[in-house]
Structure 1
């Protein structure tokens, strides 16, 4: 009996040692996605296993911090990805613009299509998604992941879902959080990746970030980046007989503030300047004349991920941009977490003084909780909320 006991103890010791030596099969990776709204050094200091960097939008915008953000990911030996934000122009042209921009990293980084409704002229057109991912695959041999909200997964065609991994965004709330061990509804959609907050706070960066999990190991990540295992340069795009420039997308970017003002804007747009500015002036009414000034007021807004000052002005109805004060002193340079302040008229779009009532969303609040069962729908419509269940701390709601 004692001999048998010793044998059992020896076997138990071997099994324990094996368990300690072999990592768990489930080794999901923690990560962030960043854009020009974060600092150029965010990926140098933040704590993550992978980072997905915004590369392009439409056919006229490239993240100015892409190179510096990417360099830090590579220098730290972390896993890398790039995403293209759909502008809804010509899908083939946008795919080519994306591939040409990230060309040096193809085979080394996961590629992603970011499919959202904001500033996307093709929103709701599932075939646009199909054309884009097929074009990226034709050029690179890589099937890109497709990012979208759980509420809009129906817009992703079945054939795309069978080839491309899904990156699903769904938040239980947008209260401040760090990395979570298992976010709400984790894995419910068979997704490859899950984004569960845009108000994430992690070591190494003083500001809110999008937090994500990749449901797999680094080796599986690399398979998405380089399915064949052979790093090869993407095929060159066929040269069109006439220039393929999405002037409408460029105009949207100008109004958003991406191209600065004056000589800086003219230099950035180059030969496209005159045509783009005609579109900009048409959209803005071709005039900068102001209506009689309403009563003065002061409003502060907390900048959230993806915000621009023109977007904040549109959301709040508080114009002109020159009446806003930002920490950097440059209305084209704001970051999530900044507090920007309007000191001017209540609105520059009306012909007479009006009273604008605004509620600043607090952590944990819901639309129905603020405005009641009979009022939340009107407020959602007034503020153009595509998803009434998704509001953010610091957001201004007109009512």
Structure 2
């Protein structure tokens, strides 16, 4: 499961988001200690009215407005406070201080402490590969990577030559071109893919309270392979499993503190398994399953999931 979307700024002033195909929109809000994108609110409100997932970003060390990490974070927080809880928060890391990992982490920590929403950091592949990002990765700040396999004009579609990452195990988003062409806009657009569904996106926008318990590890890819080997799981069953997990996660926040890479593994493996086999659960069974904590049981990293494909009995996670 993935979403295709665009990121925009004042360079796209006047864009009609209703006319441009995009599953999500990420919008420039601020830069440095004093820059404010004048088109941000109009772009944000139109995306909101259209029901699109949204993100907002701050350009670090905007030319002419360079400041400390804390002062720039406070500028971003002041100017975007009406959006917190509704949008992914992003640090755009491509200014004149790209080697200063400590600056970036201070900005991320300051925004996280003030909002409870864990920000994402954007950078190109060279920056990710060149500097020691281990403190940022350890703090579970997700990555939006920029890496362009081709410089030619293109739309959404099949991608090749994925980014080579040194520090993050995976990227939450990939910006794969700055020369995208889409209906409804006459110029070039940045095109991106998000490796998750709407529920996964929404998890990046929600406040994460410090008093919530940290869950145990989710299944690894190898454990999903073992489940696949053991069970004849159906497309419908696995789609319903994803629904139950998402519903229970929203209610009980079992994913709080979990790395986004692991969440993406969950989504991707469920999708892959769902393409293989098949019977269905009733909606009542799904609802009951979620209520009784089957999703929470998944977080216990057990391998065996007992699903009887020959009847409608409720699956049991052991």
What TM-score does the superposition give when structure 1 sets the normalisation length?
0.48
Cα deviation digits, residues 210-242 of structure 1 (max 9, x gap)? 00001101101111111439xxxxxxxxxxxxx
CA contact (8 A) 1:55 1:66 kept: yes
Provide the rounded CA distance (Å) in 2 between the counterparts of 1:138 and 1:228. Answer: 10
Q: Structure 1 unaligned segments of length 5 or more: list them.
A: 1-26, 230-399
Matched, 1:92 2:70: yes
Cα deviation digits, residues 71-106 of structure 1 (max 9, x gap)? 110011000000000015210010011111111110
Matched, 1:104 2:82: yes
Structure-1 residue corresponding to 2:27: 53
Q: Structure 2 unaligned segments of length 5 or more: list them.
A: 210-318
Cα deviation digits, residues 169-228 of structure 1 (max 9, x gap)? 000121000012334315865100000000000122121100000110110111111143
Structure-2 residue corresponding to 1:141: 116
Q: Which moved more, 1:127-136 or 1:202-211?
A: 202-211
Deviant stretches of 4+, over 3 Å: 186-189
Matched, 1:39 2:1: no
Matched, 1:205 2:185: yes
The count of corresponding residues between Structure 1 and Structure 2 is 201
Q: Decide whether aligned partners of structure 1 residues 156 and 29 sit closer, same or farther in structure 2, where only a CA change above 3 A counts.
A: farther
Provide the rounded CA distance (Å) in 2 between the counterparts of 1:205 and 1:135. Answer: 36
CA contact (8 A) 1:41 1:68 kept: no
Cα deviation digits, residues 29-58 of structure 1 (max 9, x gap)? 000000001123343421100000000010
Structure-2 residue corresponding to 1:184: 161
Provide the rounded CA distance (Å) in 1 between the counterparts of 2:59 and 2:113. Answer: 19
| SS of 1:212 mapped into structure 2 | strand
CA contact (8 A) 2:29 2:57 kept: yes
CA contact (8 A) 1:198 1:210 kept: yes
Provide the rounded CA distance (Å) in 1 between the counterparts of 2:194 and 2:132. Answer: 19
Which of 92, 107, 129 does residue 114 from structure 1 map onto?
92
Structure-2 residue corresponding to 1:152: 127
Provide the rounded CA distance (Å) in 1 between the counterparts of 2:170 and 2:17. Answer: 28
Cα deviation digits, residues 245-264 of structure 1 (max 9, x gap)? xxxxxxxxxxxxxxxxxxxx
Higher relative contact order (CA 8 A, sep 6+): 2
Matched, 1:68 2:42: yes
Q: Once the 2 structures are TM-superposed, how far is the Cα of residue 157 of structure 1 from its aligned partner?
A: 2.3
Provide the rounded CA distance (Å) in 2 between the counterparts of 1:112 and 1:42. Answer: 23
Matched, 1:161 2:137: yes
Matched, 1:132 2:107: yes
| SS of 1:32 mapped into structure 2 | strand
Structure-2 residue corresponding to 1:171: 148
Provide the rounded CA distance (Å) in 1 between the counterparts of 2:124 and 2:89. Answer: 18
Provide the rounded CA distance (Å) in 2 between the counterparts of 1:184 and 1:123. Answer: 24
RMSD over aligned Cα atoms: 1.9
CA contact (8 A) 1:114 1:147 kept: yes
Cα deviation digits, residues 113-158 of structure 1 (max 9, x gap)? 00013xx3x3311110011000001100111100000111143621
Structure-1 residue corresponding to 2:201: 221
Q: Decide whether aligned partners of structure 1 residues 65 and 156 sit closer, same or farther in structure 2, where only a CA change above 3 A counts.
A: farther
Cα deviation digits, residues 259-293 of structure 1 (max 9, x gap)? xxxxxxxxxxxxxxxxxxxxxxxxxxxxxxxxxxx
Provide the rounded CA distance (Å) in 1 between the counterparts of 2:17 and 2:179. Answer: 17
